[in-house]
Every structure is written in structure tokens, then in C-alpha cells.
Amino acid sequence: MTNRLLVLGPSWLGDAVMAIPTYRELRRRFPHARLGILARRAVAGLYEAIPVFDEVMVYDRPKGAGRFLPYADLVGRLEKFNADTALVLPRSLGAAWTALIAGTPRRIGYATRVRRFLLTEAVDRDPSLLRTHRVHYYQHLLAPLGGVPAAEAPHFDVPAGARESAAHLLAPLAQAAGPLVVFNPGANYGSAKQWPEDRYAELGRRLRARFDASIVFVGGPGDRSVCDRIAHEIRGSASNEPILDLAGKTSILELGAVLAASRLVVTNDTGAMHVAQAVGSTIVAIFGSTDPVTTAPYGEQHRIVREPVECSPCLLRECPIDHRCMVRVDVDRVFNACADAFERP
């Protein structure tokens, strides 16, 4: 019987969102168990909006010569939680090792050649599984805990406090007449995922001219310079344009509230794209180096713009050649996808 279950959660925001259906299914299957999750600080705020876990154990990935003491402290916290079962979502060797060294007797995760020996129930990753959406990939790990559940879209409700904070952030656009469009032009993973800045700028100008759209930029702290440059190009010499740059200025839940308030989200394949899907936004997603089969925004209502070049998906952080998967996606295609989204209910 499972009484205390520990989840070792994904490190990236997009993966954490795509794992939400797996988390909800755990609570349905074990309504009386104590559920805990080990989460990196960068994504831990997400779990405030998911009423699944009794305990969120936040950690920072230690680096340098002094990393062993923080790791020992982490292991001590996991030992104190005293889980009888661990569900290891990351595919790293370190995640499986952490579950083992914390003394968890039952350890479930995907098998690799080395990890197989650290897990008590190693789930095989067959080729067909690797070609399914990441939502289903995570759900498949529940097979040893009672079978694979039916498909379910990731979703969460934005708390009232985050909605209020987002309303304050969006106040400068409150009197704007046109629809609110969110641009997410960055990509933490690497530049291979990024549609060119000048094309975002041209798209913004067209959306302003055709739909009188207000444009809000979102992203992490590392995306500020990209967003600043694109916003400057859209504004030109007009300082009163309804353009707002919120890159690096929102928590995860405030980001969700801003995205939920939008009419449309135009985005690269990033964590914010998955947050947008989970809060019910309509999305135009531009894919290049990554695979929309596995990481597209979940659901049929979203629009994917992609150039199927021979080297995509390569899954590289930086393009070693000419970035053809992105530079061949012209502004007309993305604008038409946006126009289609506006014109349909």
C-alpha cells in the first residue's frame, strides 16, 4: 500500500506543466496518501495552483566545490519525508540516485542502461512512446501504480492574488481598445528555438495596423534584452504605442494570469507556451528545432507554424548551420495564423 509518495519533478517549466495530469491522477488514485514533490525553485511556484501535494520540497541545484553540503541537506529532508514510493519523472541518473540514497524502498522511473539498476520498477521507453506527446509520456509512468490513465489536458486555475497582481501590471493598457496579444520571443533552452527578432517586430506592427492590438512581452530575466529590442522596433518613434514589456517581472502564477487575460499568445516553444495552454489561452506557436509531436501546446485549438526542413527536429540548443527551420518561416504565415485565430470563436 502506498501511504507516502514522493515525486521527483521535472526541472523545466514546460515539462512541469505537461506533468500536471500525472500529478492529478496520483491524487485520484491515492486520496488518503501524503504526497510530496521535490521541485527546483524556478518551477516550485507552479504547485501553489495545483491542489495535489501536501508538501513541496524546494531545492536549488548546487554548484561548485561546496555543493555536497546542500545535497546532504536535501537528502536529509527526503529521509524525513520517509516516502514508501518514489515516482522519478526526470530521466537523469542523478534523480534516480537521489531517490535511492534517500532510502525510498519503491522507486519507479524510466529505464536507461545505468538507471535500471537504481530503480525497483524500471519502465521501458520503447520507440513509440518517445513519439507521443510528453503529457502521455509522463502518464505512462503510472503503469506500475494501477495502469496508464486516459488522456487529460494540463490545466490549472490562477489564484485570485496572482490575477490581482496581473491586473495591476496590465493597468497601463486598460484603456486600449484592441485585443491583448502576448509575445513570448525568448527561449531559455537556446537560440535554436527562437524565431528572428525582426520578424516578431514586423508581426507586431501588422497586428497593430490590422487589429489595433495591444502587445505585451513576457519571458524570464534572460529574455529582457530580446523583448526590449523588439518592443523598440515596434514602437518606432511613437512613444505612446500600447506596448508593455513584462519580461522578468512576473512570477509563474502572475505569468499565467497575464496569459489568461490575453486574446492570443504568439510564442516559441518554451515553458511559457505550456503555461498559456494550461490557463486556456489561444496560441500560435512557432516550432523549429523541437518536435511539435512531443511538445506542442496540448489540444487541437492551437495553431502550429513550422517549416519541415530535413534537419528538424534536431533538439540542439544552437543551430550549427543557417537556422533554416526558423528563417524560412516568414511573417505572412504567422500573421495569417494569428488572423485565423482572431476570426474564429
Sign of the dihedral defined by the CA atoms of residues 306, 137, 24, 102, in that order: negative
**Domain CATH code at residue 16:** 3.40.50.2000
Last residue of a domain, one of 101, 121, 145: 145
C-alpha cell at 292: 511539435
Same domain, 205 and 334: yes
Same domain, 177 and 289: yes
Please give the pLDDT value at position 190: 81
Residue ranges of alpha helices (H) inside the chain are 13-18, 20-29, 41-44, 68-81, 93-101, 127-130, 134-139, 160-169, 197-211, 224-235, 252-260, 271-278, 292-295, 324-327, 331-343
DSSP states along 247-279: TT---HHHHHHHHHT-SEEEEESSHHHHHHHHT
Residue 152 forms part of a structural domain: no
Taking residues 45-71, what's their average pLDDT?
Answer: 86
Q: What is the mean pLDDT of the chain?
A: 94
Same domain, 183 and 209: yes
pTM value is 0.95
Tell me the pLDDT tens digit for each residue of 87-137: 999 999 999 999 999 999 999 999 988 899 999 999 999 889 999 999 999
Residue 308 forms part of a structural domain: yes
Q: In what order do the strands lie in the sheet with 55-59?
A: 55-59, 34-40, 4-8, 85-88, 106-110, 121-123
Residue 62 has pLDDT above 90, yes or no: no
Same domain, 131 and 166: no
Domain that holds residue 101: 4-145
Residue 178 forms part of a structural domain: yes
Residue 66 has pLDDT above 70, yes or no: no
Same domain, 262 and 210: yes
3-state SS class at 297: coil
- Cα–Cα distance, 121 to 88 (Å, whole number): 11
Same domain, 47 and 129: yes
> How far apart, in Å, do the first and last CA atoms of the chain sit?
47
Please give the pLDDT value at position 28: 97
Same domain, 317 and 265: yes
C-alpha cell at 300: 487541437
- Cα–Cα distance, 289 to 270 (Å, whole number): 12
Burial class of residue 29 (count of CB atoms within 10 Å of its CB; 0-12, 13-18, 19+)? middle
8 A C-beta contact, residue 283 and residue 120:
no
Residue 65 forms part of a structural domain: yes
Taking residues 128-152, what's their average pLDDT?
Answer: 95
Tell me the pLDDT tens digit for each residue of 170-210: 999 998 889 999 999 998 778 999 999 999 999 999 999 99
Write phi, then psi, for 127 (nearest 5 degrees): -55, -35
Exposure letters 58-95 (e unless 16+ CB within 10 A, then b): bbeeeeeeeeeeebeebeeebeebebebbbbbbeeeeb
User: Angle formed by the axes of helices 68-81 and 93-101, to 10°?
Assistant: 60
